[in-house]
Amino acid sequence: MEVYLETKDYSVTKESFQLLYDSSLDMLVTKPVPSDLNRYYQSEDYISHTDGADSIFEKLYQFVKRFTLKRKVVMLNKYIGDEGKLLDYGAGTGDFLSVAKSKGFVVSGVEPNAKARGLAKQKGINLQENLNSLKPGSFDCITLWHVLEHVPDLEDTIGRLVSLLKNNGVLVIAVPNFKSWDAKHYKTYWAAFDVPRHLWHFSQNSIVQLFGKHDLALQKTKPMYFDSFYVSMLSERYKGVKNTLIRGFLKGLYSNLAAIGSKEWSSHVYILKKAK
């Protein structure tokens, strides 16, 4: 694999990493992979493991999260109905499952981070640390909201998740898109590379190939409109420029406008269905 570019961990350690291009899957791979990934998550800046809303970026994140939670559940209604057994893998602090539960879903979740599990428990959502206790063929739907890019054992995790789905079950995956305009514009500063927490960097082609091996057919690809704004604002901060919010907003808007033609949004949601 050839080097696509070099970037660094802007949020925690400032260490440098390479992104290698895997031409067979049309995706990028982070190298080297640290032997202890946990320490790269041990930061108050890692927002998905907290409910923090102190900084302007945290406030923006929490605002957008609240706005999109119900929309995510409405999307599930379209593909699996008004109820069913739902597993959220990488459930964070449990907010998505809390909303889904209130709408009639029977919910389960997996979250390896103990702090995040503790916050979810306070909301009445009990999360598992891993997949080990879950039975094959148990779930109508499994969701991964910006999680797949984090898993160290990609192929094994995909196989295990697919095995947990019922026949005709639906897998919903949200991941950043390294072919978006904002990724190409910011290059090494693109916040969604987020190395080394993000080990894999997907394209639309790579998702189809990875899950096609497991007989999951792509039903729909949907844009995540807000991601370009948030990611661009963070990217501007990493560049150390002034007027971060304004510049980030404008770049995020331009990225979305560019994607109207290219269909390469900052992040995509993929809805995949398991064959009978």
pLDDT in tens, 217-253: 999 999 999 999 999 999 999 999 888 999 999 999 9
Mean pLDDT of 144-159: 96
**Backbone Cα Rg of the chain:** 18
pLDDT, tens digit (0-9, with 9 covering 90-100), for 87-114: 999 999 999 999 999 999 999 999 998 9
CATH code of the domain covering residue 124: 3.40.50.150
Residue 87's pLDDT is 98
Mean pLDDT of 245-265: 97
CA atoms within 13 A on the CB side of 25: 20
Task: Please give the residue that has the higher pLDDT: either 1 or 190.
Answer: 190
Q: Is the pLDDT of residue 193 over 50?
A: yes
Is residue 102 domain-resident?
yes
Q: Is the pLDDT of residue 49 over 50?
A: no
Residue 275's pLDDT is 83
Residue 62's pLDDT is 63
Domains in the chain: how many in total? 1
CA distances to 82, 91, 268, 271 from 78, in Å? 8, 21, 17, 11
Is residue 130 domain-resident?
yes
Q: Is the pLDDT of residue 182 over 70?
A: yes
Residue 54's pLDDT is 55
| Residue 212 banded pLDDT, cuts 50, 70, 90 | very high
Host domain of residue 122: 2-224+266-274
Is residue 76 domain-resident?
yes
Q: Is the pLDDT of residue 44 over 90?
A: no
Q: Is the pLDDT of residue 64 over 80?
A: no
Is residue 230 domain-resident?
no
Is residue 258 domain-resident?
no
The number of beta carbons lying within 10 Å of the beta carbon of residue 212 is 12
Cβ–Cβ under 8 Å, residues 259 and 231: no
Specify the length of the chain in residues: 276
* Closest of 259, 61, 88 to residue 177, by C-alpha: 259
What tokens were used for 163?
Answer: 């095995």
Distance CA 93, CA 247 (A): 30
Q: Which helix (H) or strand (E) holds 200?
A: strand 200-201
Q: Is the pLDDT of residue 48 over 70?
A: no
Is residue 7 domain-resident?
yes
Is residue 242 domain-resident?
no
Q: In sequence order, what are the beta bridge partners of 7?
A: 17
Taking all residues of the chain, what is their mean pLDDT, rounded to a whole number? 91
What tokens were used for 180?
Answer: 């978006």
Residue 242's pLDDT is 87
